[in-house]
Amino acid sequence: MLALEAQTRLGGLELDLALEVAPGRCLALAGPSGAGKTTTLRIAAGLIRPDSGVVRCGEQVWLDTDRRIDVPPERRRCGYLFQDYALFPHLRAWQNVAYGLRGELPRGERRRRAHELLERFGLDRLADARPATLSGGERQRVALARALARRPAALLLDEPLSALDARTRAQAARELAAVMRAAEVPTLLVTHDFAEAAQLADSVGIIDGGRVVQRDVPAALAAAPRTAFVADFTGASVLTGMARAGDGGLTLVTLDGGGDVASTDAATGAVAVSIHPWEIALEPAGAERHGSTRNQLDVEVVSVTPIGGRVRVGLAAPQPLTAEVSEPAVRALRLAVGGRAVATFKATAAQLIPR
């Protein structure tokens, strides 16, 4: 078990959080830049000493400020993957992997261990290559091999996929997930990308302003965000307005800037309305309105972005919206930037969050 509690002030950031990660599990801290993600990793690794805190890994106490325990970074048995991988440019791949083993194993044993790990990652043929000659994916695998070289008791991963291009990222994510499963140690991962966190982690903690504002499995975070920030971060459109009781047991929200939205959630006063892109359908502007869909907003198309087999459509209404539709729907509706459409969604799709 990796357990961390920390309170500290760094510049304008006031960090105050507690977390635990079980062996063989991965917790992702996901949030915007400056939220405290990397600071948390660095506290775990011993690279930052908080004003107050405790870090435990298994039976070992790495930090206890009250007891004046502060194990130096080189003695904390953790594998740290830096965001930019931090490979030494003048060293060969195997030397980078073996670097952390200096003082622990003779040179021959260090080299053997490095080659074993590079072979595991399919890089043994590149053992003598220097980082500048490697692709982004190859550099990531060398850095992962280095993180595993000391047989760590915990893995700390800082934005592990952010330095990769889109084509390399999918394969790298699969390899990384396999590495975490095989390591069978607690993994703490930080990222600014909720989709990446959902793909790699067993649970996700949304961090904002130095605090974890909600933690759950990814699907639960997306389905039931507690705050407008969590809803927006997990990919929902968030509209603001004032709620009051409506007809038929529904709540009617008058949106800031104009327009009304109905929801099956009960609320009054200032609220945020969370709607996932896949809950929004688009219809031609001016078409006769029919069916049971309660909410219909006139919108302007501001962007059309293919993503895999789906298309994200940015919409300007009284407030911005995003719809996710199929490619045939885009063609049938002749969606293009500057065009008009009607965004429709059910009252059950509009989640209300108090503001």
Which tens digit of pLDDT belongs to each residue from 130-158?
Answer: 999 999 889 988 999 999 988 999 999 99
- Residues 330-334: what's their mean pLDDT? 92
Cα 333 to Cα 300, 322, 341, 342, distances in angstroms: 13, 16, 8, 11
Core vs surface per residue 116-138: b (16+ CB within 10 A) or e: ebbeebebeebbeebbeebebbb
**Looking at the structure, do residues 171 and 248 belong to the same domain, yes or no?**
no
Domain assignment present for 129: yes
Domain boundary among 162, 196, 223: 223
What confidence score (pLDDT) does residue 160 get? Answer: 87
Report yes or no on 132 lying in a domain.
Answer: yes
Residue 333: per-residue pLDDT: 92
Q: 């760094």: which residue's tokens?
A: 10
Number of domains in the chain: 2
Establish if 228 belongs to a structural domain: no
> What are the pLDDT digits (tens) for 78-132?
999 998 889 999 999 999 999 988 878 888 899 999 999 999 888 989 999 999 9
Tell me the percentage of the chain whose pLDDT exceeds 70: 98
Q: Among candidates 261, 281, 253, which has minimal Cα distance to 354?
A: 253
**Mean pLDDT on 327-336:** 92
CB 332 within 8 A of CB 290: no
**pLDDT tens-digit map of 197-245:** 988 999 999 999 999 999 999 989 988 899 989 998 988 899 999 999 9
In this structure, the answer to whether residues 192 and 263 fall within a common structural domain is no
Does 164 score more than 90 pLDDT? no
- Which of 199, 223, 247 terminates a domain? The answer is 223
The CATH number for 164's domain is: 3.40.50.300
Q: Looking at the predicted structure, is the pLDDT value of residue 340 above 90?
A: yes
What's residue 199's pLDDT? 87
Q: Letter for the amino acid at 182?
A: A
Residue 169 reports pLDDT greater than 80: no
196 domain-assigned: yes
What is the domain extent for residue 293? 236-354
Residue 218 sits in the same domain as residue 267: no
State residue 289's pLDDT score. Answer: 66
Instruction: Quote the CA–CA distance of 353 and 258 in Å, as a whole number.
Output: 19
User: In the prediction, which pLDDT does 292 show?
Assistant: 65
Q: Does residue 336 form part of some domain?
A: yes
Both 23 and 71 in one domain: the answer is yes
Examine the domain organization and report whether 135 and 250 are in the same domain: no
* 185 and 276 within one domain: no
- pLDDT above 90: residue 18: yes
Same domain as 291, residue 194 = no
Do 175 and 125 lie in a common domain? yes
Both 32 and 176 in one domain: the answer is yes
Mean pLDDT score of the chain: 91
Supply the CATH number for residue 304's domain: 2.40.50.100
CA–chain centroid gap for 305, Å, is 21
pLDDT in tens, 253-287: 999 999 999 999 999 999 999 999 999 999 998 77
Question: Does 246 share its domain with 210?
Answer: no
Residue 229 in domain: no
Q: Are residues 212 and 350 in the same domain?
A: no
Q: Which two tokens stand for residue 19?
A: 């977390």
Same structural domain, 192 and 54? yes
Residue 230 lies in a domain: no
Q: Which candidate, 149, 179, 26, 153, places its Cα nearest to that of 77?
A: 153
Q: Is 91 exposed, middle or buried (0-12, 13-18, 19+ CB in 10 A)?
A: middle
Task: Count CB neighbours of 145 within 10 A.
Answer: 26
Q: Does the model's pTM come out above 0.85?
A: no
Neighbours of 240 (CB within 10 A): 17
DSSP string, 58-92: TTEEEEETTTTEE--GGGS-EEEE-TT----TTS-
In a domain, 231, yes or no: no
